[in-house]
Chain A
Amino acid sequence: GENVEQHPSTLSVQEGDSAVIKCTYSDSASNYFPWYKQELGKGPQLIIDIRSNVGEKKDQRIAVTLNKTAKHFSLHITETQPEDSAVYFCAAPTQGGSEKLVFGKGTKLTVNP
């Protein structure tokens, strides 16, 4: 089955700086990679996702890149703001495009004003 590794586990940046979180996966058949943001006391919320037929996707200050050869994908947040502080999770389906997701262990991002 799929195995997802996420780094770093914690990340602290100054407001306005960029933040990068990286994930690797093991199943070469995986073709969908979502990123979730979880604020304290809330459930995870999808912020961006990418399918394996593209290498990069952007949505305002957030971007995700995918390297299928190396089996890793990254979340990039530019011009960070204090409200970006949260725990971020990457995920991948267990079997190609199956509905069952395997999540990374999470990255706690702190944006200092």
Chain B
Amino acid sequence: GAGVSQTPSNKVTEKGKYVELRCDPISGHTALYWYRQSLGQGPEFLIYFQGTGAADDSGLPNDRFFAVRPEGSVSTLKIQRTERGDSAVYLCASSLGGTAYNEQFFGPGTRLTVL
């Protein structure tokens, strides 16, 4: 079956612009996660949704970052007033939900470059 998909695969933007990154989870997965991965580092947790609500957004670095999942399926990560330091690969993962024991299935990521 289809895995987690993310669009776009690459996004180049200018400093100060607004960007939206989209994640389509595996059908039936109630949990959805956003991570950020900088070069040579492991994924860094940003936010976790259980259904439509953000169960834990403690990883969002500041108020320029926001994510939604209005219908409990597709999620959008929104970054306002982008900065060069926001350049990274943004990974989305989904799972059956509940606890970390459920395998998280990752998408291929969106590579964001802020010039």
Identify the A interface with B (CB < 8 A). 6, 32, 34, 36, 41-46, 49, 51, 89, 91, 93-94, 97-106
Q: Distance in Å from the Cβ of B52 to the closest Cβ of chain A?
A: 16
6 closest Cβ pairs, A-B complex? A43-B106, A103-B42, A93-B100, A99-B100, A89-B42, A46-B103
Does B51 count as interface, using CB distance less than 8 angstroms? Answer: no
Interface range on chain B (Cβ under 8 Å from partner): 20 to 34
Tally of A-B Cβ pairs under 8 angstroms: 68
Q: Distance in Å from the Cβ of B13 to the closest Cβ of chain A?
A: 20
B66 proximity list for chain A (CB < 8 A): none
- Asked if A99 and B48 make an inter-chain contact with CB atoms under 8 angstroms apart, the answer reads yes
Q: Could you say which of B42, B48, B98, B103 contacts A100, with CB atoms under 8 Å apart?
A: B48
Does B108 count as interface, using CB distance less than 8 angstroms? Answer: yes
Which among B43, B56, B107 has the highest number of chain A CB atoms within 10 Å?
Answer: B43
Cα A4 to Cα B109 in complex, Å, equals 23
Identify the B interface with A (CB < 8 A). 4, 31, 33, 40-45, 48, 50, 55-56, 58-59, 91, 93, 95, 97-109
- Asked if A98 and B99 make an inter-chain contact with CB atoms under 8 angstroms apart, the answer reads yes
- Asked if B108 and A42 make an inter-chain contact with CB atoms under 8 angstroms apart, the answer reads yes
Cα A103 to Cα B93 in complex, Å, equals 14
B100 proximity list for chain A (CB < 8 A): 32, 34, 93, 97-101
Known: A97-B99, A99-B95, A101-B45. 15 other contacts (CB 8 A): A32-B100, A43-B4, A45-B106, A49-B103, A91-B42, A94-B45, A98-B99, A99-B48, A101-B104, A103-B43, A103-B44, A104-B42, A105-B40, A105-B41, A105-B42
User: Which single residue of chain B is at the shortest CB-CB distance from A95?
Assistant: B100
B105 proximity list for chain A (CB < 8 A): 46
A97 proximity list for chain B (CB < 8 A): 99-101
